[in-house]
Structure 1
């Protein structure tokens, strides 16, 4: 409640002020309801509330000082057969998670990749996924189990296509492929035995923002890739009128236990 006071009057002359007879007061009545008082006549105590500091943004658990979280990975371990038994598909699971993310955080960006492993590889699905997506803890555990030896570096002859390290060794020597050449070889390797047409290679290996090459450009990339594969170039075979196919030979070793698939949902 605010208290209101009328301003005091002052006289400007020395004349005495005559007393006035106070008028008769009316009979007491019930108190009238309070009325608001103009702000210029209201006196309120000047009490300033203490400044409340803005709450600090909560830190994500296990994020070291001096770093910031930029996103997260949710490993989902399920193969196509289990998804089918549950009445769904891997694609539908991905789309459902994307929809939920868009509802919770519309500004979030998503990227999904399917983890590949040889058929009958065994092990828990989620462990296979963690290795395929190069989870540091899973890789460290794998190295501990295998010791310090690297099978890829102990084969002096033949072709080593090391997808996890993005390199190709020819008889122990690096082939020196460019990024795009390795992406092209990797795409064929991960689809071993299937002929890939040029249109699919363009669609999958070149971003929408990049200038899409022509089918002739694909042929040039394949020819350069083959020249760097030297006497092993026939592992990339031309299927006339269709496209290209990867053919595994007995002297070809592929390390793909810890590599993400280039497939994007």
Structure 2
């Protein structure tokens, strides 16, 4: 074969390669990845404690192994590493938020720092404003009734202690109330209505089965005591 024929064959091969590259679909861009960087993996935060896992008929270890097996099936070359998030027994807050904070998620740390140092800078979450008897959810005032706020405030001021229904009745209801004689069912109804108005933050009021209700310190909640001036929210 002459040199001319070799050069022609190489040129045709290069042309076909260039055409194939131009026709190949571009890899989808991950919006969270800034220009000049590349994605090397991802983190999946799973919020579930051992009790909830057991109630679902599984365990944290089995969930981890199942996720690893699925990853290996979808991408055999992927490397995995699992870390368990530890928190004090009885710590409040949504499980997934506790996990993010425990594992040093930058966004969770920044939010926690803002809420701790300057609650007014927090972009979202719950503000229980005792000084003005109101609750602010993600910068919007919640439409709680007087009794609903009193119920939440009673739990908040006794953080970490389980309050029996009988104590709530004796402390929050009296003979002058227009409602019929309250009972344990009355408390459950008010708690259900309160939780409905709290929306995605409903779990700040925890049920202690067979006993009553409790409020634990929660990453999403800021408390404004009556001694602290509370600015109006517009």
Q: TM-score, normalised by structure 1?
A: 0.39
Q: Which structure has the highest helix share of the two?
A: 2
